[in-house]
A and B are shown apart, each in its own frame.
Chain A
Amino acid sequence: MYDVVVIGGGPGGYAAAIRASQLKGKVALVDNADMGGTCVMRGCIPSKIWLRAAELLEQSRKAGEFGLELTVGKLDLDAVLARKQGVSNDIRMGMNALLGNNGADVVTGKGKITSPTTVEVDGKKLETKNIIVATGSTLDMPDIPGLKDAAFTTDQLLDMKKVPASVLITDPTYIGVEMATLLSILGSKVIFAVPGPRILPDEDQDSSQRLAQSLRERGVQILARHTLVKVAGKTCTLKSGDKEQTVDADKVLVSARKPVTDGLGLEALDVKFNDDGGIAVDEQCRTACPSVFAIGDCTGGWMLSHAASAMAICAAENCMGTAAKFPSHLVSRAIWGIPQMGSVGLSEEQAERKGYEVEVGGFPYSINGYAMLRGEVDGAVKMVTDAETGEILGVHIVGANASELIGEAVLAMQLECTVREFAKGFRVHPAFCETVVDAARDAAGWALYLPKRG
């Protein structure tokens, strides 16, 4: 009898297995393929290797600003792929070793839940007190006529040996923005057609506008309120209201993802599902079936690796009898473009809709000494706070290192620091992170380095 059987060996399942083992649980992890999940093999890690290559390429082109007379050769895609493979392998080896080190059994095969306390793997029955479903997500190929032939999936992109001459991107979220940045730096002509009025519809309007502007400056054509309805060869038909127009693209990026829940036997357990197909869980990551938990992409929503591993800790602790809650308001988001984006919490608009009396503070990178000396002045920090209590409701950063800087805000929000305390903090100088404190001071009404407010 196991204490916990985890189904899925991605960042969620892996963390859940280790955490449950740490709490003296007898744990099995079931995965039908290599460990690592989307994150390590087809998502976070490979895409950031590509974006690092693009960043270096762009920096080397600008090296003249610092007196370096470089001749930049071509980008060897095979070398990037080799690096990607190497890093993914290293991480997977580390994961396997750590699971073994923690005493968790790894069972290879497809897991199916046959009762609230039984998981069957290829005919072998594992009896367990608790089950954690961490089956992740898979590419969601939209049902659009002709799309299959032109489709360029993120899996294909991350394994590409040739950069397509032109690409149509329709995913308005993080993956779409990152791939638009990457492909445009690597020389593709990118058309970015999004169904709503803007890219990144769930992020703060300012972040969305800053990143859209940066993409436009790279030559990306952004078409708002356009939906792909048909693909014929290289001709893509977009619909906007009643009007249709065609654009030419060699490839159409398919990057949307959907939760993997089929074939697990969840329906028979009366597990409930959200509208997006994700498994519905409460704040303890528990499904409607009390002994079954679900974490990460298979619960829908943000579908972010770090959310999966945080949910994993929560689910594993609950399985082992330590009550825990997943603080979903602390899920940060990031985009590793140039510039980067980092965000956590509510946008200004969302905070207003929730009825807060909102006080916003801002600080541009353009007057941060470190950003100036490095020639990375694109970007700004925006802090959304509750005027009544000083609660930090959300922080939205666009600019260099934003994916790291957002950690400042996550920590502050986790420890329930108000904007008044944040504003009194100080950082090393010169550094990008000074901008976050400056934005807090602006929200608290005493920005030192900004002109006086009217």
Chain B
Amino acid sequence: MSIELAMPKLGLTMKTGKVSKWFVAEGAAVKQGDDLFEVETDKITNKVESPADGVLFQILVQPKQEVAVGAVLGILAEPGENVARVEGASDSPASAPAEAGAPKPEKTNGPAAAQTSSTGGASSPAARRLARELGIDLGCVTGTGPNGRIIERDVQARHEIVGKIKITPLAAVIAAKAGLDLSTLTGTGEGGKIVREDVDRVLHPEKFVAAATAAAAASAPQTGPVPMEGMRKAIADNMMASLQNAAQLTLVSEADMTPCVNLINDFKARNKRDKNFRLSMNDVLILAVSKALQKHPRMNATFDGEIITRHAEVHMGVAVALPEGLVVPVLHNAHAMGLLEIAKEVRLLAGRARKNELTPDDMSGGTFTITNMAHSVVDFFTPILKPGEAGILGVGRVVEKPVIRNGSMAARSMMGLSLTFDHRLEDGAPAAEFLKTLVEYLADPALLLF
């Protein structure tokens, strides 16, 4: 029976991986334990051994192609076995998104994932046999043999650690299905038992930070020491990671918002009988920024550390302030929405944020972010990039100022704009061009029609 070789999950947070090389050519015979291929993630490189004797029948995922955990990379056939080839998978280009790769079949034949071992440390056949018997994932075992090789004793030690872990049956099922390493979980049940919520906290952290921080904020004293935890900790980690990993530069400019203010007032007057009608300056900004980003896709970019991806679609992160901290849900496909649709969808998102009902989808996939301080006395500030995004626009208050127009002074509603961008990805000139377009759009919103 043939075995499908799947992309192994090598760590808690691993979602995708790359085959960096195949050690064996298609059609070649392999023995159990032979190195088959090497997997590379952003953190680690691992060699994967053949789970059985056989022939590497087909390679489905070529080197340098990134695929999701669990995607089928190749097929190992028994010697002489005739297996149907999987068509159309190996030719996909290297830039294919992570979800690509071969489709994962409903049920896999034989062991689902090939056996893995940490870099530099292979595993002894006895260790592998024991691991199989005890259901231990070798990826979680630290080798103490020569060159870090995993030996039988290491598997036994791991089994004893796992065996001592107290966990409820339901939590164990959910953790196993998600491929979580139990020894990384912190139990909060009676006597430190791992309960379902402890597993959920790792799998769905977004459900917990807001609630935990709200409770902590409510009970925390106004002065004195406050532990850095929950949402505060998440924000702290994100902000520091952003500042440490990107070259951030902020450009500022002012936009004449008088026409936009008039436009909104006019829309509101026309719809004053409709109690559900809502339109705010933020909605107009999302529309204008989306249009400007479509004109300057270099600012609508994300960076994974190796490849800059410039996006045609605008998925706009909209920072929403909650009592316990800031969340940034994403308005997906903002570029395809009209003004009223933006107004409606943003309100739905903000509502979900306030009720703590944001889904992981709501929180991911952003290509640019707007952060709004219009309800304060702030004109300009230095926004911090959302990690991975090329730009973030900080919006200040709208305030009437004297402005020289056509040689004479006039009172105009002015707004400060602060654009932070990642100087690694772009230089100042294209960022300034984007800002210029945006200022023009806002000063003359009729341009948004084109």
Q: Which residues of A contact B (CB under 8 A)?
A: 282-284, 286, 290, 318, 388-391, 415-418, 420-421
- Please choose the segment from B166-174, B271-279, B331-339 that sits at the chain A interface, where 4 or more of its residues have CB less than 8 A away: B166-174
CA distance A416 to B167 in the complex (A): 9
Contact of A284 among B169, B170, B195, B215 (CB under 8 A): B215
Whether A417 pairs with B168 at a CB distance below 8 angstroms is yes
Q: Is the CB of A418 within 8 A of B170?
A: yes
Query: Which chain A residue has the least Cβ–Cβ distance from B171?
Result: A416
- The interface residues of chain A lying within 8 Å CB-to-CB of B170 are 389-391, 416-418
Contacts of B443 in A (CB 8 A): none
B168 contacts A282, CB within 8 Å? Answer: no
Neighbour of B218 across the interface among A286, A389, A421, CB < 8 A: A286
Whether the pair A286, B215 counts as a contact (CB closer than 8 A) is: yes
What's the Cα separation between A417 and B196 when bound, in Å? 10
Whether B211 and A283, one on each chain, are in contact in the complex, defined by CB atoms closer than 8 angstroms, is yes
Complex CA distance for A286 and B195, rounded to whole angstroms = 23
Question: Could you give, for residues 180-202 of chain B, a 1 whenever the CB lies within 8 Å of some chain A CB and a 0 otherwise?
Answer: 00000000000000011000000
Residues in B with CB closer than 8 Å to A416 are 168-171, 195-196
Structural contact, B211 and A389, CB atoms closer than 8 A? no
**Cβ-defined partner of A389 (8 Å) among B174, B195, B219:** B174
The CA-CA distance from A286 to B177 in the complex, in Å, is 35
Tell me, in angstroms, the Cα distance from A318 to B219 when the chains sit together: 9
Please name all residues of chain A whose beta carbon is closer than 8 Å to the beta carbon of B211 when the two chains form the complex. Answer: 282-283
B363 CB to nearest chain A CB (Å)? 19
Closest residue of chain B to A318 (Cβ to Cβ) is B219
Does B173 lie within 8 Å of A290, measured CB to CB?
no
The answer, yes or no, to whether B214 is at the interface (CB within 8 Å) is yes
Closest CB-CB distance, B274 to chain A, in whole Å? Answer: 23
Which residue of chain B has the shortest Cβ distance to A284 in the bound complex? B215
Q: List 24 A-B contacts (CB under 8 A).
A: A282-B211, A282-B214, A282-B215, A282-B218, A283-B211, A283-B215, A286-B218, A286-B219, A290-B218, A389-B177, A390-B169, A390-B170, A391-B170, A391-B173, A391-B196, A415-B168, A416-B168, A416-B171, A416-B196, A417-B170, A418-B169, A418-B170, A418-B173, A421-B169
* Interface members, chain B 126-178 (any A CB < 8 Å): 168-171, 173-174, 177
Q: How far is the CA of A418 from the CA of B168 in the complex (A)?
A: 9
Q: From residue 204 to 220 of chain B, which have CB atoms closer than 8 A to chain A? A: 211, 214-215, 218-219
CB distance from B289 to the nearest CB of A (A): 34
Question: Which chain A residues lie closer than 8 Å to B168 at the CB level?
Answer: 415-417
Main secondary structure, interface of B, reads: helix
Which chain A positions have C-beta within 8 A of B196? 391, 416
Assess A417 versus B218: contact at CB under 8 Å? Given A282-B211, A283-B211.
Answer: no
Question: Which residues in B have their C-beta under 8 angstroms from that of A421?
Answer: 169
With a cutoff of 8 Å between Cβ atoms, the chain B residues found around residue A283 in the complex are: 211, 215
* Smallest CB separation, B200 vs chain A (Å): 11
Partner of B173, one of A282, A286, A389: A389
Contact of B169 (CB < 8 Å), options: A318, A388, A417? A417
Nearest-CB distance from B107 to chain A (Å)? 15
Query: Which residues of the other chain, A, contact B169 by a CB distance below 8 angstroms?
Result: 390, 416-418, 420-421
Q: A284-B215, A416-B195 are in contact. Are A388 and B177 (CB under 8 A)?
A: yes
Rounded to whole angstroms, the CA-CA distance of A196 and B382 in the bound complex is 57
Q: Which B residues are in CB contact (< 8 Å) with A417? A: 168-170
- Kindly list chain B residues whose C-beta atoms are within 8 Å of the C-beta of A388: 177
> For A318, what are the chain B residues with a Cβ–Cβ distance below 8 Å?
219
- A420 CA / B168 CA spacing, docked (Å): 13
Which of B169, B174, B218 counts the most A-chain CB atoms under 10 A from its CB? B169
What's the Cα separation between A290 and B168 when bound, in Å?
Answer: 32
B410 to chain A, nearest CB (A): 43
Complex CA gap A290/B211 in Å reads 14
Partner of B219, one of A290, A390, A418: A290
Additional 14 contacts, C-beta under 8 A, given A282-B218, A318-B219, A390-B170: A283-B211, A284-B215, A286-B215, A286-B218, A286-B219, A388-B177, A389-B170, A389-B177, A415-B168, A416-B170, A416-B195, A417-B168, A418-B170, A420-B169
CA distance A389 to B203 in the complex (A): 15
Question: Within the complex, what minimum Cβ distance (angstroms) separates B447 from chain A?
Answer: 43
Q: How far is the CB of A202 from chain B (nearest CB, A)?
A: 21
Measured in the bound complex, the distance between the Cα atoms of B171 and A283 in whole Å is 21
Shortest beta-carbon contacts, A-B, top 10: A416-B168, A416-B170, A290-B218, A389-B173, A418-B169, A421-B169, A418-B170, A391-B170, A416-B196, A417-B169
| Inter-chain contacts of A284 with B (CB < 8 A) | 215
Question: How distant is B251 from chain A, measured CB to nearest CB, in Å?
Answer: 41
A337 to chain B: closest CB distance in Å?
32
Which B residue sits closest to A287, measured CB to CB? B218
- Nearest chain-B residue to A417 (Cβ)? B169
Contacts of B177 in A (CB 8 A): 388-389
How distant is the Cα of A23 from the Cα of B169 in the complex, in angstroms?
A: 31
When distances are taken between beta carbons in the complex, the residues of chain A under 8 Å from B219 are 286, 290, 318
Q: How far is the CA of A391 from the CA of B195 in the complex (A)?
A: 13
Could you tell me the distance between the alpha carbons of A124 and B268 in the complex, rounded to whole angstroms? 53
Contacts of A286 in B (CB 8 A): 215, 218-219
Contacts of B195 in A (CB 8 A): 416
A286 to B174, CA, bound (A): 30
Cα–Cα, bound, A418→B211 (Å):
27
Shortest Cβ gap from B48 to chain A (Å): 28
> A415-B168, A416-B168, A416-B196 in contact; A390/B215 too (CB < 8 A)?
no
- Cα–Cα, bound, A404→B403 (Å): 78
CA of A417 to CA of B211, assembled, Å? 26
Nearest CB in chain B to that of A321: its residue: B219
Chain B nearest CB, measured from A386 CB (Å):
9
Q: When chains A and B are docked, how far (Å) is the Cα of A124 from the Cα of B173? A: 56
User: What is the CA–CA distance of A388 and B171 in the complex, to the nearest angstrom?
Assistant: 13
CA–CA, A415 and B195, complex, Å: 8
Question: In the complex, are the beta carbons of A390 and B218 less than 8 A apart?
Answer: no
Q: Could you say which residues of chain A place their CB within 8 Å of the CB of B171?
A: 416
Complex alpha-carbon distance, A318 and B196, angstroms: 22
> How long is the Cα–Cα vector from A390 to B326 in the complex, in angstroms?
36
| Cα A20 to Cα B168 with chains together (Å) | 29
| A388, B170: Cα distance in complex, Å | 11
- The smallest C-beta distance from A89 to any residue of chain B, in angstroms, reads 38
How far, in angstroms, from A282 to B323 measured CA to CA in the complex? 14
- Residues of B393-434 at the interface with A, using a CB-CB cut-off of 8 Å, are none
Closest to B197 in A: A325
Query: A389 — which chain B residues lie within 8 A by C-beta?
Result: 170, 173-174, 177
Residues of B within 8 A of A282 (CB): 211, 214-215, 218
* Alpha-carbon distance between A283 and B207 when the two chains are bound, in angstroms: 13
Whole-angstrom distance from the CB of B71 to the nearest CB of chain A?
A: 21
Q: How far is the CA of A389 from the CA of B168 in the complex (A)?
A: 12
Nearest neighbor of A290 in chain B, beta-carbon distance? B218
For residue A390, which residue of chain B has the nearest CB?
A: B173
Q: B261 to nearest A CB, angstroms?
A: 33
A445 → chain B closest CB, angstroms: 16
Q: In whole angstroms, what is the CA distance A389 to B218 when docked? A: 35
